[in-house]
Structure 1
Amino acid sequence: MKNKIFLYLFVFAALLALYQFVSASNLHKALNSDIDNLKGQVQSLKDSLQESQLKILDIQYFSLENNDDALAYYEHLNLEDPVRYIEDKLLETNEKKGNNPLVPYDGMEGDFKINKIKVLNHKWILTDFSDGKYWGDLVLKYELKDDLSVDFTLVDHLLYTRSN
């Protein structure tokens, strides 16, 4: 009788060990599959991040911040951030009552004011203007003088029309 009990215990232990082995093997396969899936997602995210960084570099190509040759024109002025300074001076033109003097149009729904500014280099600026409903773009030429005054000259302009 003792031999049968030991035989049953041995068979039970062997079945339990076999179950554990198969279960661990299946778990191992599932985890490896998940790891491979996550590696693929990580690689996809890295590729997407690299593509986004290239787009950002492409967008920043025409900007004063990334143009050392153009920034060299302002080294003697000891400005910490020439772009911010020029943008602030341009936004000061919005403070006058009525339309911004650089915008060659009369506002239809309000006064035309400059909204967005892109300083391209040491000579040119692109801006966006709007009265709340109508909008347009300006190309400006500017000159930052040694006394830190800035002269703005309108080069070209565009007013978008709405088609109803």
Structure 2
Amino acid sequence: MWLGLMAFFVIILAIYIARAEGLEHDVTEANRELLEAQMQLAEYTREEVPRPVEIGLRNADIQQLQRLGMTNPERRLSEDLVENPQLVPEVLRDGDTAEFREDGIYVLNARWVLAHFESGDRFGQLLLEYEVIHGNVMWDVVDGYVED
């Protein structure tokens, strides 16, 4: 009887060891497949074209600017910028006057404007930050460049 009980425990132990080795093999195989899938995903998404960024004022931005006293905000911002050529950096030659090009003013969002300007044979772009206070626009030049 003891011998039969010992044989039973040895058989049970052999079954558990075999199952453990099988499970360990299955886990190793699953990890290998997961790594291959991650590498394929990285390969597919490496050259993925990013989604284009929305440019311009959203409806909520337009409503906010209207509450601040600005009717037709995009046109008003462009007009105000054209009226303020002194915002062009002082990298221009003495005596040159700069003008913003109306067709080159882009309202990027509720905070930033990209504007092209010309001065004789020189031209460039400015990135400007703006704030509207009681219908008046306050401009701050963030960055820009001038080309000859």
TM-score range (shorter-chain normalised) is: 0.5 to 0.7
Q: Which residue of 1 aligns with 2:97?
A: 111
CA deviations 1:90-123 (Å, max 9, x no partner) are 11113xxxxx233332247832221121111111
Is there any run of 5+ residues in structure 1 with no aligned partner, and where? 1-57, 95-99
Structure holding more strand per residue: 2
CA distance in 1, matches of 2:52, 2:83: 26
Aligned residue for 1:126, secondary structure, equals strand
Q: CA deviation at 1:73?
A: 2.2
Which is bigger in relative contact order (C-alpha 8 A, separation at least 6)?
A: 2
Q: Which residue of 1 aligns with 2:12?
A: none
Aligned residue for 1:118, secondary structure, equals strand
Contact 2:113 2:130 in 1 (8 A): yes
Identify if the C-alpha distance between structure 1 residues 88 and 60 changes in structure 2 by more than 3 Å, giving closer, same or farther.
farther
TM-score using structure 2 length? 0.55
* 4+ long deviations beyond 4 Å: none
TM-score using structure 1 length? 0.50
Alignment partner of 2:118 out of 130, 134, 138: 130
Alignment partner of 1:84 out of 71, 75, 82: 75
Aligned residue for 1:122, secondary structure, equals coil
The residue type equivalent to 1:110 in the other structure is D
Contact 1:114 1:130 in 2 (8 A): yes
The residue type equivalent to 2:100 in the other structure is I
CA distance in 2, matches of 1:101, 1:107: 15
Over aligned residue pairs, what C-alpha RMSD do you find? 2.6
Is there any run of 5+ residues in structure 2 with no aligned partner, and where? 1-50
| Percentage of identical aligned residues | 23
